[in-house]
Structure formats: C-alpha cells, structure tokens
Amino acid sequence: MIDTLPPAVIFLLGAMLTPFFKGKWKSVFMLLIPVVGFLNLIQIPEGNHCTVHFLDYTLVFCRMDRLSFVFGTIFHLISFIAILYSLHVKDGIQHAAGLVYAGSALGVVYAGDFFSFFVFWEMLTISSIFLIWARRTKAALDAGYRYLLVHAAGGLCLLAGIVIQVNQTGSIAFGFLGLNGLGTWLIFLGFGVNCAWPFFHPWLTDAYPEATITGTIFLSAFTTKAAVYALARAFPGTEALIWIGAVMAGFPIFYAVIENDLRRVLAYSLINQVGFMVCGIGIGTELAINGAVAHAFNDVLFKALLFMSMGAVMYRTGKINATDLGGLYRTMPLTCIFCMVGAASISAFPFFSGFVSKSMVMDAAAGGHMSVIWFILLFASAGVFHHAGIKIPFFAFFSHDSGLRPKEAPLHMLLAMGLTAFLCIFIGSFPGPLYSILPYPVEYVPYTAPHILGQTQLLFFSALAFTLLLLAGIYPAEIRAINLDVDWFYRKGGRLFFLLMDKGLNGLNHWCDLIFVKGIAGWICRLSKDVAARGALLVMVSFWIATGLRDERLSIRKLNLYADIMEGNWPAGISAGVAVAAIFLVFMMV
C-alpha cells in the first residue's frame, strides 16, 4: 500500500517534466526538485514504506532508517548544488540525465529489496552514461562505451549473485549479507565494480575526466557513494574490505602525482577517499561505520567543490591539463579560494570537513590495533594533501604564468561553489549536526590538542616536502603524456583479443573452407560421381558388348556416358526420384 512518496519518484517525475519549462522557469523548476524532495524526505517516518506485492514477493521502495537517511540527505544536497552549478547548460539531455541519475541513486539507497535495488542500480549506469556522451567528443564516446561495458559486466555479476541468493534463501529482502557462499561473493564483487576497487577502478579514471564539465559533478557524487552505501548495508565488518580499502587509499596517490589532466588527478583522489570509507566499513565497529558514512557525506561535498573549481577553469579557458594552466589566481580569485577550501577539506585540515570524519576511520583502525592499516592510511592522508591539496590549486592557479587571463566564473557557478565551501567549513568547525544524523550515537571528539597538532604537523611537513622538492627541481615536471593503468588490459587487450579472434577464428574458417568445403566435400562429390559412373560403365559396357558394339563407337559411347554422369544431372534426378519413391512407400505403409 502506497502511503509515502519514495524519494526517487520526485526526481524521476521532475526529469520527465523539465523539458516543458523554458528559460528562467526551467531553472526555478529544477532547483525546486531537490528542495521538494528534501521536504518529502524529512517527513518520512522510520520503517518500510511503499511496499508493493509482486508475484510471491514484497517490493519495498522506501526503507527509511538512520543509514539511508544520511545518504538521502547528502544526495539531495549535492543534487541542489550540481543543478545550481549547471544552470547555464542548454542541453536538455544533460539536465534530464542528471535528474534521473540522482533519482536512481536515491532509489538504490531506499530500496528494501533486491529487485528494486537492482533496477535502480542499473539505471545509475544508464543515466550516468549520457553525462559522459554529452561532451560529444570521440574520446568521451569511446570512454563512455568502455564505462558501459565495465558496468554491464559488474551488473551481470550482481544479478547472478542476487539470483543465487534469492534462490537459496527464498527471500528478496535486501539487508545484511556477509560473505557466505557464492551468491554473496558475486554480489560483493558487483558492488566492488561500482565502488572502483583496485583492478575494477579504471572505468572511473577513464570516464570521469571525459564527461561534461557539469556532468562530472553529478558523477563524482553518486555511483561510488551508492556503492559505499550498499557495502555499509550488506557487508559491514567484512575483513576483506579493510585491505581493499587500504590499497584503494594508497595506490592512486602515486598516479595522481604524475598525472597531467587535473580532473583525472581528482578522479584518482576520489578512489583514494573512497578507500577510507571502504576501510571503515570493513573495520565495522560503530565508530568505523560512523566514520565511513560521515566521510562519504563530506567527500561528496569537497570532491564536488574541487571538480566544480576545475570545471570553472575549464569552462573559462577550455583547458584542463596542468601543462596548459597556471597563474589563474590573478583573474579568478574567488574560484581559487573555493578550490583551496576544497583542497583543505579533502586534506583534513583542522576546521575543514575532512578532519572530523577521516580521523574517525583512522582512530577506529588504531583502536583495533591494525598498525599496518593505520600506517597506510596515514601515508594516504599525507599523500592526498600532496596531490589534491597542493597540486590541484598550485598548478591551476599559481605555478608559472600561463598568460591566460580568463574572466571569473559565472555567478551561478560561484554560488554553487560558495555554498559548498561554506558547508565544508561549517561541518569542519561544527561537526555536531553531521554527527547527530550518523547511524550510531557519536561519542567521538575530533578536536583534542594532540590530534590537531599531529594532523597539522603531518600536513605542513608534507607541504614542506613539496616546496623543497619543487625548489630543488626534483618534483616531476608536468609532461604531456598519459599513464597506463589496468584499463590497458581491456583497451590494448581488447585489440589483442580482436586480433586473436580475427586471425585465429578467421584463419580457422579459411582452413576449414580449404580442407572441408573445397577439399573433402569436393573429393567425396567427385568420388561418388566417379563410382557411379564406373558402375554404370561396367553394366553398360557389358550390355553394349553383348549388343555388338565395338571399337570406335563403343569408346564414344563410353566417353559420353562417363561425361554425362560426371556432369551430373542424372544423380540428382535419380536421388530425387528415389527420395520421392521412399516417401511414397512410407506413406503407403503407414
């Protein structure tokens, strides 16, 4: 019985109605969608709503609890910000795709059963791909196809897992699973693809930097965070996640240091930040889960802020490679300041949002005496400051003077960035409101003297390392180049596969043609005609000799008969006649 409106419905309806509005009304209408959605969200009481009976199963479209509420809140907030940021876009497809994408993410978060969960999960992929293709470049088109293939594979893996799981348990309710058996492992891996686990991750660093300026803001928020939600729902406390998260936090920072495309640097740091969340979910204590969820909340904001500032630079200059940029603080001072707020937040400076959430995961790891994990995470914390905290603002807004003097970003972009920057500082300075909506009660106190000092030292001395390496000329110069990643296996490997199939199967075809079609079949054909001809000759020659034919006339007759049979109308006619006779015979007998 439908008693409440599921949060996804408002966005999906909104997406359908958007094309009917024009000009300013369109902007107002789109901005109202997340506002109305949020007003609807906060009045939904806890529990399962919008249950629909379908065959023998019960579908739940709105499961409201503390976990889904946090993700619902941040998804509404970031939708509002991203829509505000993209008001200048005239392309209706992007608006519709963005709204459907946000709606699908909400659908995933509020789905209480596997069926609706899977449908919304697939809608995430389908709608997001239009944000990539809308860039309308060949690179974006190709990256979009690769994105689609990887997610289709992940989706099938998830579907296989769901089918096995539902078969075994007989229930389609989606809740805690834990790793036990093939079905849950497949679901786990399916989530992992969307979560950009190591080896599954290149779809993210491949496609996000190819998407449109505004599309990337939506992309950076939803797919990975919906996967984090799914993991927090189904696999909290799974030990494998601790190590997966630690690797995710660690390896992308090396790539980020040598990457030239600044939005790709941010894509790598996105994986690095999701690593902290995955690790927290793996640790699974109340503190760790709170930390992971709070960090997801904050990451959506500061990562969007960084992508927005780089998007504004790209919008004004048309360039995004570090080699082409530099010195933009002169004419884009506000964008520069907002970018630095985002950089300070992702680096977890005290009084910026990252500080109050990342430290929860770190403390949970330390409290569980996981020293190796803790050291990796601390290394990742220093590293993220190094590439996202310093590299992004430095190479775009300072560094050498590129000579570019672009205008400041448009007003709506500045408003979107300003709002996000305000939230980053507000949450960092007053974490109480965020802590109050986390899944478990929070007793954690982020602001203690040793913690503030330790974190500040870590960051300042990372900055010192950057400064000294740069002044000494050791810091890797930005080079126009790309760096290989795991996607090599399906980009080059795909070609190798194609080559193998082409040479292998087509070669096999060719040889089969030579041996069987042209060789053996021809030989059998000739043989069967020859045998028939020789048989006929044997009979006929005796007959002709008996009738008195001799010498030349006999040999002419022999030649004619042999040629007639080899030419071949007779055998076909004869076999057709025999076949008809056989059928007639069978018919008569029956």
Partner 1 sequence: MEEKPTDSKTYLFDKPKNVKILLGCFYGSLMVLLFLDLFVSKHPYFPCEGWPEFYAVYGFVACVVLVIVAKYVLRPLMKRREDYYD
Site membership for partner 1, residue 474 (CB under 8 A):
yes
* Long-range Cβ contacts of 145-150 (<8 Å, 24+ apart): 146/203, 146/206, 146/207, 146/487, 146/490, 146/491, 147/203, 147/206, 147/207, 149/490, 150/193, 150/200, 150/202, 150/203, 150/490
DSSP string, 52-106: EEETTEEEEEEEE-HHHHHHHHHHHHHHHHHHHHTTT---HHHHHHHHHHHHHHH
Q: How far is the CB of 78 from partner 1 (least distance, A)?
A: 30
Cα distance from N-terminal residue to C-terminal residue, the chain: 63
Rounded to 10°, the helix 262-283/353-367 angle is 40
Is residue 473 involved in binding partner 1 (CB under 8 A)?
Answer: no
Please name which of 148, 124, 130 lies closest in space to residue 224, comparing C-alpha atoms: 124
φ, ψ of residue 251 to 5 degrees: the values are -70, -35
Part of the chain binding partner 1 (CB under 8 A), chosen from 107-115, 165-173, 379-387, 500-508: 379-387
Contact pick of 476, 586, 588, 589 for partner 1 (by CB under 8 A): 476
**Judged by CB under 8 A, how many residues of this single chain contact partner 1?**
55
Where in 227-256 is the site for partner 1 (CB under 8 A)? 253-255
Q: How far is the CB of 238 from partner 1 (least distance, A)?
A: 23
CA distance 505 to 507: 5
Stretch that binds partner 1, among 69-77, 264-272, 483-491, 523-531 (CB under 8 A): 483-491
Toward partner 1, which CB reaches closer, 157 or 361? 361
- Contacting residue, 483, 537, 554, 571, with partner 1 by CB under 8 A: 483
Token couple for 81: 């910000």
- State which H helix or E strand residue 51 sits in: strand 47-54
Residue 320, classified by CB atoms within 10 Å of its CB into exposed (0-12), middle (13-18) or buried (19+), is: buried
> Segment near partner 1 (CB under 8 A), from 84-92, 369-377, 408-416, 500-508?
369-377
Which listed residue (339, 466, 490, 565) binds partner 1 by CB under 8 A?
A: 466
Quote the CA–CA distance of 204 and 151 in Å, as a whole number.
11
* Distance separating alpha carbons of residues 549 and 542, to the nearest angstrom: 10
What minimum distance in Å lies between the beta carbon of 291 and partner 1? 15
Find the part of the chain contacting partner 1 (CB under 8 A) among 27-35, 178-186, 289-297, 471-479.
471-479
Of 49, 295, 303, 386, which one interacts with partner 1 (CB under 8 A)?
386
Tokens of 170: 């007989």
Q: Which among 44-52, 207-215, 399-407, 426-434 is the span making contact with partner 1, rule CB under 8 A?
A: 399-407
Among 66, 88, 407, 480, binds partner 1 (CB under 8 A): 480
User: Minimum CB separation from partner 1 for residue 394, in Å?
Assistant: 11
Task: Out of 481, 588, 589, 590, name the contact with partner 1 by CB under 8 A.
Answer: 481
- Closest contact distance (angstroms) between CB of 493 and partner 1 is 12
Q: Nearest approach, Cβ of 381 to partner 1 (angstroms)?
A: 9
**3 counts as binding partner 1 under rule CB under 8 A:** no
Taking Cα atoms as reference points, which of 565, 576, 567 lies closest to residue 532? 565
Q: Residue 29 or 475: which CB sits closer to partner 1?
A: 475
CA distance linking residue 541 with residue 236, whole number of Å? 92
Selected range binding partner 1 among 33-41, 98-106, 433-441, 448-456, rule: CB under 8 A: 448-456
Give the torsion through C-alpha atoms of 379, 383, 389, 392, to 10 deg. Answer: -170
Residue 489 binds partner 1, judged by CB under 8 A: no
329 binds partner 1 (CB under 8 A): yes
Provide the minimum distance between the beta carbon of 65 and partner 1 in the complex, in angstroms, as a whole number: 31
Residue 450 in the binding site for partner 1 (CB under 8 A):
yes
Q: How far is the CB of 421 from partner 1 (least distance, A)?
A: 20
Which pair of structure tokens corresponds to residue 4?
A: 């409440």
CB of 257 to partner 1, least distance (A): 4
Q: Name residue 280's amino acid.
A: G
- The residues that touch partner 1, with contacts defined as CB under 8 A, are 253-255, 257-258, 329-330, 363, 366-367, 369, 371, 374, 378-379, 382-383, 386, 398, 401-405, 448-450, 453-467, 469, 474-476, 479-485, 491-492
